[in-house]
Chains A and B, each alone.
Chain A
């Protein structure tokens, strides 16, 4: 008797391990791994719920959204899941995933799925296109912006700078020092990384690339371009000049905190942080955003798109339907309204509702018009060892402003760093 009881009890304990959860027959579950948390996470949940209750119900498709950490963590997990063959149907990742996904044999491209691409904003499409076509469906797009303290700018009667020269001119007006000469408010704080440089370098001469093959979108780059084209040098010269005004603080952490506490008159950040920044500044001052300053008059290319896209790993009509839903103009509009991401369905821009929205939220409009006005071929950078290069750029720029190396030596150093990364990647990956 006792034995039977123990057996029954054990069975009771281990039974949940085997139950797979009763599911309605005929319903296809589409799993999406995503990095959306906080305000953005709630917005994403809302879109998913809408789908499950409308289109999903009619078509017998249910989305199961699983939060998997930061965009890059999603990538790490996708790569691990590919080995153990437990991939989700869709994963939302950013451009750091592009190189890996472009080489992955388990990726289902948009061409494979037969997704209509014409409605997607061309800049965002190019950001996720390689020689294989559109790798993933752009979903959350953003661009680099100059955030500024509107109160400080108005008090001093200055406008947000359109070029670095203007920025250098107004630096001592928007910056502030106490009697002892210590800076109490910087004009700008931060150090550019690959993300900012794709725009600062990319915008020059209408369109410039950091490396050849369209910043790596058309295969592994073979050449570093910013060295011989002088675009990085042009940027460094202006950046150094800005630093020499004494109102640029070369820091890599706590930039948003400094801005929100009023100790920095401006900062460079992605438009995806807009709602968070406005939230953290609160009533301290009014936040304004404008397009990033141009390195010189010829730097007319605009900004490179950033953000993420939906990568598919299952080739089925259900997956296509889910992606089509996320690209629908009303869904893209809702997504933009809830988060501040740039709507990617071009039809949105003609709708009445969108015009009303940007009238009420002019700040949200800046990123959208900046990206719309940018050269569509100006794309983000696809490179191996992306993180090494990211940190190298910061160190390199800091070394220049603090005169540890000359500008020419700095350019050479970065060219070598990227070349070495490419060579080492080639040594391991090219047959």
Chain B
């Protein structure tokens, strides 16, 4: 009987397993093995390379630069994104009459396509006479100066992720059992105490998830860069995947293709492992 159940379970899992192995496991193993080979631009295998492809990659100054840029982007983007989405969802957590449109506005970025939003940003930040400068009374040439270009990218990243993170946090705020909050109120807890000691811990799981999603998005950011800055000005926004895009796709460098893909999968896996470890520990408590 038990054995039968087991077979049944695997039978249900089978389609998923097949899909996962065809579309994930096989390509990954293929890439991993290819990263240890010498492959020319036409895709012909010339021999075994060992780790020399990785050595060449890490020696490449452009790659080193791209790692630093990605870390800079991540360290700016993740805190800002988390802070703003948490702020917006906290402020709108209680249903207040007439606030429906506000929620819609916060959620709206989800409905705008990535390239559309990026092009709008490009226009808003273009040149010294840009709309943003007029609004804020600034004199910054956002897309032509190194750090401002990075900031523009961070703002764009927040805009793109805001809607989905906001709705995730908002629903978890609203899923909190009202009785607990009411009980605390009757016991004389202030709103600050309720927020920091009851609400925040209760949504922590979702908050952590949005943080890890943000980290993943930051590590993998490339499409907005292709449209907005092309890695510029002067390589100041050239992230790992943008480096990968121009070297592997545009220049057909197979070694970069395979080594960077492998490293990115491994680093994403690492982030996920850390995430599940944290969860495991929390759940055990």
The yes or no verdict on A and B being binding partners is: yes
Which candidate, A11-19, A133-141, A389-397, is the interface stretch facing chain B?
Answer: A389-397
| Cα A79 to Cα B250 with chains together (Å) | 10
Stretch at the interface among B153-161, B210-218, B230-238, B262-270: B230-238
Determine chain A's interface SS by DSSP, over half rule. helix
Smallest Cβ distance from B248 to chain A, in angstroms? 11
A253 to B53, CA, bound (A): 34
Contact between A388 and B62, CB atoms less than 8 A apart? yes
Q: Which of A291-299, A315-323, A366-374, A422-430 contacts B (4 or more CB under 8 A)?
A: A422-430
Instruction: Contact check, A253 vs B247: say whether CB atoms are below 8 A apart.
Output: no
B97 contacts the other chain (Cβ, under 8 Å)? no
- Mask, B239-256, CB within 8 Å of A = 1, is 000000011011111110
Is the pair B126, A257 in contact by a Cβ cutoff of 8 Å?
yes
On whether the beta carbons of B253 and A384 are closer than 8 Å, the reply is yes
| Interface core residue of B43, B59, B253 (most chain A CB under 10 Å) | B253
- Complex CA–CA separation, A419 to B38 (angstroms): 19
**Are A76 and B141 touching (Cβ within 8 A)?**
no
Check B38 against A386 for contact (C-beta < 8 Å): no
Q: With A253-B229, A420-B60, A428-B40 in contact, is A79–B252 under 8 Å at CB?
A: yes
Contact B144 A76 (CB under 8 A): no
**Within 8 Å of chain B (Cβ to Cβ): is A245?**
no
Does residue B186 face the partner (Cβ distance < 8 Å to A)? Answer: no
Tell me which residues across on chain B come within 8 A of A392, comparing CB atoms.
62, 235
A385 neighbours in B (Cβ, 8 Å): 247, 251, 253
Give the chain A neighbours of B250 by CB distance below 8 A: 72, 76, 96, 386-387
Is A251 a contact partner of B62 (Cβ separation < 8 A)?
Answer: no
Whether B251 contacts A431 by the Cβ 8 Å rule is no
| Contact (Cβ within 8 A) B251 A387 | yes
Contact between B247 and A388 (Cβ–Cβ < 8 Å)?
Answer: yes
Contact status B251-A427, CB under 8 Å: no
Chain B: minimal CB distance from A182 (Å): 9
Contact B251 A76 (CB under 8 A): no
Q: In the complex, what residues of B have CB within 8 A of residue A252's CB?
A: 144, 232-234
Q: Given contacts A76-B250, A79-B252, A100-B41, are A258 and B127 in contact (CB under 8 A)?
A: yes
A105 touches B (CB below 8 Å): yes
Residue A26 at the B interface, CB < 8 A?
A: no
Q: For residue B227, give the distance in angstroms from its CB to the closest CB of chain A.
A: 12
**Which residues on B sit within 8 Å (CB–CB) of A38?**
none
Max chain B Cβ within 10 angstroms of own Cβ: one of A76, A100, A388, A427: A388
Q: Which residue of A lies closest to B246 (CB)?
A: A387
Which residues of A are found within 8 Å of B39, using beta-carbon distances? 428
Chain A: minimal CB distance from B144 (Å): 4
Residues of B within 8 Å of A358, CB to CB, are: none
The distance in angstroms between the C-alpha atoms of A391 and B49, with both chains bound, is: 28
Bound state CA distance, A87 and B111, in angstroms?
A: 37
**For the complex, is A104 an interface residue (Cβ under 8 Å from B)?**
yes
Is A384 touching B42 in the complex (CB atoms < 8 A)? no
- Residues in B with CB closer than 8 Å to A99 are 41
Contact (Cβ within 8 A) B252 A253: no
Within 8 Å of chain B (Cβ to Cβ): is A363? no
Tell whether A417 is near chain B: CB-to-CB under 8 Å. Answer: yes
Is A329 on the interface with B (CB-CB < 8 A)?
no
CB-CB under 8 A from B254, the residues of chain A are 428
Do B251 and A388 have beta carbons less than 8 Å apart? yes
Closest to B130 in A: A254
Q: A100-B41, A254-B127, A398-B234 are in contact. Are A76 and B229 (CB under 8 A)?
A: no
- Shortest CB-to-CB span from B202 to chain A, Å, is 46
Are B238 and A386 neighbours in the complex by a CB distance under 8 Å?
no
Instruction: Check B43–A391 contact: CB distance below 8 A.
Output: no
Tell yes or no: A83 within 8 A of B by CB: yes
Closest to A402 in B: B234
Over the window 19-56 of chain B, the binary record of Cβ atoms lying under 8 Å from chain A Cβ atoms (1 yes, 0 no) is 00000000000000000001111110010010011001
Contact B249 A76, beta carbon cutoff 8 Å: yes
Q: Is B143 engaged at the interface, CB distance under 8 Å to the other chain?
A: yes
A100 and B252 contacting across the interface, CB-CB below 8 Å: yes
A205 close to B (CB within 8 Å): no
The answer on a CB contact under 8 Å between B42 and A105 is: yes
Question: CA separation between A77 and B253, bound complex, in Å?
Answer: 15
The residues of A that contact B41 with a CB separation of less than 8 Å are 99-100, 103, 384, 428-429
Task: Tell me whether A431 and B126 are in contact in the complex, defined as CB-CB below 8 angstroms, given that A252-B144, A391-B231 are known contacts.
Answer: no
A303 CA / B222 CA spacing, docked (Å):
35
Query: Which residues of the partner chain B approach A100 to less than 8 Å between Cβ atoms?
Result: 41, 252
A424/B60 in contact, CB under 8 A: yes
Which one of A96, A253, A385, A431 has the highest number of Cβ atoms from chain B below 10 Å of its Cβ?
A253
Query: In the assembled complex, which residues on chain A have CB atoms less than 8 Å from the CB atom of B95?
Result: none
- A176 CB → nearest B CB, Å: 15
Contact A394 B43 (CB under 8 A): no
Q: Which residues of A contact B255 (CB under 8 A)?
A: 424, 427-428
Q: How far is the CA of A384 from the CA of B40 in the complex (A)?
A: 12
Knowing A103-B41, A257-B126, A387-B246, say if A428 contacts B233 (CB, 8 Å): no
Q: Which residue of B lies closest to A96 (CB)?
A: B250
Give chain B residues whose Cβ lies under 8 Å from the Cβ of A254: 126-127, 143-144
* Complex: A430 Cα to B235 Cα, angstroms: 30
Given contact pairs A76-B250, A385-B251, A387-B246, A253 touches B144 in the complex (Cβ within 8 A): yes
B231-A428 in contact (CB<8A):
no
> Does any Cβ of A come within 8 Å of B61's Cβ?
yes
Least distance between A50 CB and chain B CB atoms (Å): 34
- Which chain B positions have C-beta within 8 A of A104? 42
Contact A420 B52 (CB under 8 A): no
In the complex, the chain A residue whose C-beta lies closest to that of B252 is A100
**A254–B142 Cα gap in the complex (Å)?**
11
Inter-chain pairs besides A254-B143, A427-B52, A428-B41, 4 sampled, C-beta below 8 Å: A104-B42, A428-B38, A428-B46, A428-B53
Complex A-B: 14 CB contacts under 8 Å: A72-B250, A103-B42, A105-B42, A253-B144, A253-B229, A254-B127, A254-B144, A257-B127, A385-B251, A394-B233, A420-B61, A424-B56, A428-B254, A431-B46
